[in-house]
Structure 1
Amino acid sequence: MFVPGSASQSLAAALADETGRPLATPEYRWFPDGEECASVPEFAGGEAVVVAATVSNDALVELLQLQDAVRGAGAEAVTTVIPYMGYARQDRAFEPGEPVSARAVARAVSTGTDRVVLVNPHEAGVAEFFDVETVVVDAAARLADPLPDDLADPLFLGPDESARGIAATARDAYGRGAVDHFEKERDYDTGEVTVRPSDADAAGRDVVVVDDIIATGSTMSEAVAALHERGPERVFIACVHPMLVGNARTKLAAAGVERVFGTDTVEREASAVSVAPAVADVL
């Protein structure tokens, strides 16, 4: 039975449709002091698959509660699907005395589950922090589905060299186009990051900028604005995790992005395609 966290209801429903397994209807209530209680009153044993993106601290606590609820109700096995793992970018201590937050989260999640499934964690190494079997799903190929069929001589760009692989995966799934990446330079005195297009010719071409996550959109919007100096026909953005916090979507539109496509690992207006088929393959 799939047990959705409140931030992953659409994905859990899609997984239930994809696999033919039942879907639970958890109940969420809050106490006057702000504490939440997530329960699964209909669960009566068997295998439980908790599907919960940890998009906030509250969502993380909710995930832990759902794990405990199904275990207490007699679950024979618990699998935890974390479509978007918050704190995954804090995969090391950056300053003395700082925590490795991804490790702390992973250890907490591990106590209530037998297996974990992650979708494109920002740092792949965080999978090693879990104390149970952990599977990483690459859903980048799903990003090809919502793209227009008529892209003109498409160019798939990663926002930096490390994202070139995810851009190549999306290109391969789309079936045609070139792959390149932006050059990123950091001023270590000021901390300012400058992003500029590579030498790839974008003139008259449709460009798809591909990344695993878009949070504030600041660096991405600067990159797209610089890209427009090369004369592309249209610019699209495709990302696995469309966090799009604050005014991120406005920044991207102002920079000249025609459309933003994301998956349902984070359920937003931009969530144009589901990762359910990719996740279902490992369940």
Structure 2
Amino acid sequence: MILSGSSSQGLAAALAAELGEPLADVEYERFPDGERLVRIPPVDGRAVVVCSTTGDEDYVELLQLQDAAREAGASEVVTVIPYMGYARQDDAFEPGEPVSARALARAVSTGTDRVLTVNVHETGVCDFFTVPTANVNAAPRLAAALPDDLRDPVFVAPDAGAIHLAQSVRDAYGPGDADYFEKTRHSGTDVDIEPSDTDVTGRDVVVVDDIIATGSTMSEAISVLDAPERVYVTCVHPLLAGNARTKLANAGAEKIYGTDTIERAVSEVSAAEAVAAALS
């Protein structure tokens, strides 16, 4: 049975269809003091909890769903975290700071038998869980959203660390080159980006990343491209906080494509197929 967090209902429904498993009718409530409550039907066999954690309250809901699944009779609980909040806090960057990703991973581990993440920002975060954990790559699904007539495309990652994402989208699409920008980060907000070596003049460019938060870095990356034909922006996790979409449009992005790990208007494709393969 698939148990959906309130933030992941579309993905949970798509996953249930992919697996041929029932989708539970989960009820979400709040007490007058603001506390959350979930309610689920009886579970016969495996329970798959699907809950993106874009905010603190999502973690509370995820833990409640796990506990409810046990109470409802689940023989196994598998937790799918399509987007894992706090994954970028994977170290204590200053004295006295917590390793927040570790703290939350340990909390999630107490209520589940295994965990699946989807393109977690730092793959080392999976080691923080104390149950078997796997990281699913949903980036190839982004190729299905792209136009069929891309002209001599170049798939570009914002930095060397994300080149595998650009390559996986390119491989799924078919023809094209893969490259990355040289990025030097001076602080959390001060980043220098230099163009890649690949000539993009007159070619369609697909910029690929795991997550777009504010859109600032991606916008700057687009701005240093030399005379591309068209620019498309793709990401697994379309957080798109604040005016991110406006920034990207003003930078020259023709269209933005994301998956449904975070359900937004740009969620053109579903990560369900990739997650289902890992669950089968």
Question: TM-score range, shorter-chain basis?
Answer: over 0.9
1:13–1:191 CA distance, 2 compared to 1 (3 A): closer
Residue 95 of structure 2 aligns with which residue? 96
Residue 10 of structure 1 aligns with which residue? 10
Q: Does 1:261 align with 2:257?
A: yes
Residue 158 of structure 2 aligns with which residue? 159
Q: Does 1:124 align with 2:120?
A: no
User: What does the per-residue CA deviation read over 1:210-239, in whole Å, with 9 as the maximum and x for residues that have no partner?
Assistant: 000000101111111122xx1000000111
Cα offset, 1:191, TM superposition: 6.1
How many matched pairs? Answer: 279
Equivalent position SS for 1:280: helix
List aligned pairs for 1:143-154, cutoff 5 A: 143-154=142-153
Q: Does 1:249 align with 2:248?
A: no
Structure-2-length-normalised TM-score = 0.97
User: What does the per-residue CA deviation read over 1:181-216, in whole Å, with 9 as the maximum and x for residues that have no partner?
Assistant: 11112346x962111211211110000000000001
Q: Output the CA distance in 2 between the equivalents of 1:280 and 1:37.
A: 27
* Kept in 2: contact 1:24–1:43 (CA 8 A): no
State the identity %: 63
User: What does the per-residue CA deviation read over 1:116-135, in whole Å, with 9 as the maximum and x for residues that have no partner?
Assistant: 01111000011100010111
Structure-1-length-normalised TM-score = 0.96
Which amino acid is 1:43 matched to? P
Which amino acid is 1:85 matched to? M
User: What does the per-residue CA deviation read over 1:144-176, in whole Å, with 9 as the maximum and x for residues that have no partner?
Assistant: 100000000100000011111110110011111
Which amino acid is 1:200 matched to? T
Runs of 4+ in 1 over 6 A off after TM superposition: none
Which amino acid is 1:223 matched to? A
Specify every segment of 5 or more residues in structure 1 that has no aligned partner in the other structure, as ranges: none
Which amino acid is 1:149 matched to? D
List aligned pairs for 1:55-204, cutoff 5 A: 55-187=54-186, 192-204=190-202
Residue 217 of structure 2 aligns with which residue? 219
Q: Output the CA distance in 2 between the equivalents of 1:281 and 1:10.
A: 18
Cα offset, 1:45, TM superposition: 3.5
CA RMSD of aligned residues (A): 1.1
1:157–1:44 CA distance, 2 compared to 1 (3 A): closer
Residue number among 261, 271, 275 corresponding to 2:271 in the alignment: 275
Cα offset, 1:248, TM superposition: 0.6
* Kept in 2: contact 1:144–1:173 (CA 8 A): yes
Residue 206 of structure 1 aligns with which residue? 204
Residue 237 of structure 1 aligns with which residue? 233
Which amino acid is 1:2 matched to? I
* Kept in 2: contact 1:110–1:131 (CA 8 A): yes
Equivalent position SS for 2:57: helix
